[in-house]
Structure 1
């Protein structure tokens, strides 16, 4: 039985970051995938495997989206590596100049690794490098070409086995967040500054729909929403409002988000980006939903559950609010 190919990104952040700034970046990246692992002090790793179908982007374009968001929201340059495991992604990022991405496609790891110095592998200290060097093992390919018994005589059985696995590009470690995200973030970057109030409305409606889908997918509910508007001059405004009750129901989230948008009065504002953050997250089973005597509410929730099932089966674009069909609100 085949397993789904993993797509792991490693982003180096070319900036000196405070602890608070680093936490904000982890939060921003959680808007792309919940599988974000901190690599302090200046890197993050993302497992993009499940996000690719959601955003309908290639692995490379997904990484470019992450780098663009870092630049837009925090003016941080980054370099990236993309591969099928954490070790290769980190090594690929080390090989990338600022602003660039090095992609090691699945099946090409051996060729990419072969000429690289053996010291590029993680865990190769000076003593190990000196031992390998004395026997002419300067490149990773030299290690893979050496008989295992010979390598064991040089390093010992355990270290030799581990080095051989790394030299062949093997790394089974998952991307593991330290703890469940305290927030969920969905953001949108316009290709050009947008003055159209109707597009502002559709953008915020679409982001609220994204938040609702993700909350339901993770069996969580939110207590508060924050709407951030980033303007053409890089200034921003944020407004926060509590929800009438903790929920993951998209229409309820949209009503609060659109209320925040209306309160901002952006009739002639040149908007570059919107972001919605859901706070006060709780397990979906931990709060009671207010009973409604409106049969339309029950029908709406049943239709929402059916739409979620259709999207899981046929993709995220299979079903969506009619109000969003006239204008895709994503980048581009």
Structure 2
């Protein structure tokens, strides 16, 4: 039995330009790396591999993605959640603005949701096809699904009939196809409520930098530049960029640079709602020269970092993290952290 998939289709109630759409995809890659854009106003996400990492159900992950889009870009969405791409897109089309429609995962649930729908709701069924089917009394998806293949072939022809029969039964084996890896990577944190505490700002940015360091090593990349964006309760934002000492995948270097930028912002009285940390100037780590050092502390730090990476891969992201992030859960910034790898 094949593993169950969870596909989300987000319809954006806006038409972002090419540059903003690229930023939106990078933002959503913090939920799952398996995502595909459908310009000008839709994105599909394969949430299957993200469930275990976040410890959330698919509906909660959809809400996380929608909240990020609203908090960072002010974009409202409607969403569909289903076991394949076609059903997810149909569910999103059936959702009101701000709503999410979830197609049941079991076969009976799929049929109960899909079969009463007009045949024109199926992708690829235009007015001419719907009219031709209507002449034979085939007005709903269920009626088409129950029609013998030979009858459909006489009406539409062999190839269109086979495709229509598969879609009418809710079948769609197409995977979500990720685009070429971006030239940058982003981690973000959207808070449940405004934050005024400088210590919480420090911990939030430290956590994002730690996650990006792990992601760099997982993807065998090194970064040369870092940008921090802080978005406030009134939806204004501050963005600062800094150059790293050299191309690196070493978390302490990324953390030091991120916290340095944070300190320069002076957020003591700011009401912060979200943070985004972005690494640019990416290059393969294997082809990046590393400055040799006689300091044994540097080698120990890298050995400890490597051991922590192995522990996370085996036991999950909470297996190893900086001591500053190990406090009680209620003391941590509340929100959804980034996904650190593209596995």
Query: Could you say if the C-alpha distance between residues 56 and 248 of structure 1 is closer, same or farther in structure 2, counting changes exceeding 3 Å?
Result: farther
CA distance in 1, matches of 2:3, 2:292: 41
**In 2, are the aligned partners of 1:70 and 1:77 still within 8 Å (CA)?**
yes
* 1:124 CA drift (Å): 0.8
In structure 2, the residue matched to 1:84 is 83
Greater relative contact order: 1 or 2 (C-alpha under 8 angstroms, separation 6 or more)? 2
CA distance in 1, matches of 2:121, 2:326: 49
CA distance in 2, matches of 1:86, 1:103: 13
Q: Secondary structure at the match of 1:179?
A: coil
Q: Which moved more, 1:29-38 or 1:70-79?
A: 29-38
Correspondences of 1:217-236 after superposition (within 5 Å) = 217-236=218-237
Q: Which moved more, 1:240-249 or 1:292-301?
A: 292-301
Q: Which moved more, 1:203-212 or 1:123-132?
A: 123-132
In structure 1, the residue matched to 2:31 is 32
In structure 1, the residue matched to 2:103 is 104
CA distance in 1, matches of 2:286, 2:48: 27
Correspondences of 1:272-287 after superposition (within 5 Å) = 272-287=273-288
Gap runs ≥5 in structure 1: none
- CA deviations on 1:228-273 (whole Å, 9 max, x unpaired) are 1111221111111111121222111111101111111212221111
State whether structure 2 residue 333 is matched by structure 1 residue 329. Answer: yes
**In 2, are the aligned partners of 1:137 and 1:143 still within 8 Å (CA)?**
yes
* 1:330 CA drift (Å): 4.4
In structure 1, the residue matched to 2:167 is 166
Gap runs ≥5 in structure 2: 337-343
CA distance in 1, matches of 2:247, 2:103: 43
CA distance in 1, matches of 2:280, 2:240: 13
CA distance in 2, matches of 1:95, 1:72: 24
- CA deviations on 1:159-216 (whole Å, 9 max, x unpaired) are 1111111111111222123321222111112222111111111000000011112222
**In 2, are the aligned partners of 1:30 and 1:181 still within 8 Å (CA)?**
no
Correspondences of 1:75-154 after superposition (within 5 Å) = 75-107=74-106, 108-154=109-155
Query: Could you say if the C-alpha distance between residues 239 and 46 of structure 1 is closer, same or farther in structure 2, counting changes exceeding 3 Å?
Result: same
**In 1, are the aligned partners of 2:200 and 2:332 still within 8 Å (CA)?**
no
CA distance in 2, matches of 1:148, 1:36: 34
**In 2, are the aligned partners of 1:220 and 1:282 still within 8 Å (CA)?**
yes
CA distance in 2, matches of 1:96, 1:314: 38
In structure 2, the residue matched to 1:239 is 240
Q: Secondary structure at the match of 1:224?
A: strand
CA distance in 2, matches of 1:48, 1:217: 19
* 1:99 CA drift (Å): 0.6
Query: Could you say if the C-alpha distance between residues 306 and 330 of structure 1 is closer, same or farther in structure 2, counting changes exceeding 3 Å?
Result: farther
Correspondences of 1:178-257 after superposition (within 5 Å) = 178-257=179-258
* 1:275 CA drift (Å): 0.8
CA distance in 2, matches of 1:304, 1:8: 34
Q: Which moved more, 1:294-303 or 1:231-240?
A: 294-303
In structure 2, the residue matched to 1:316 is 317
CA distance in 2, matches of 1:121, 1:203: 44
**In 2, are the aligned partners of 1:11 and 1:80 still within 8 Å (CA)?**
yes
Q: Secondary structure at the match of 1:49?
A: coil
* 1:152 CA drift (Å): 2.1
* 1:20 CA drift (Å): 2.9
**In 2, are the aligned partners of 1:34 and 1:181 still within 8 Å (CA)?**
no
Q: Secondary structure at the match of 2:49?
A: helix
**In 2, are the aligned partners of 1:215 and 1:221 still within 8 Å (CA)?**
yes
Correspondences of 1:258-269 after superposition (within 5 Å) = 258-269=259-270
* 1:3 CA drift (Å): 4.1
- CA deviations on 1:124-146 (whole Å, 9 max, x unpaired) are 12221111111111111111111
Aligned length: 331
In structure 1, the residue matched to 2:341 is none
| Aligned-CA RMSD value | 1.7
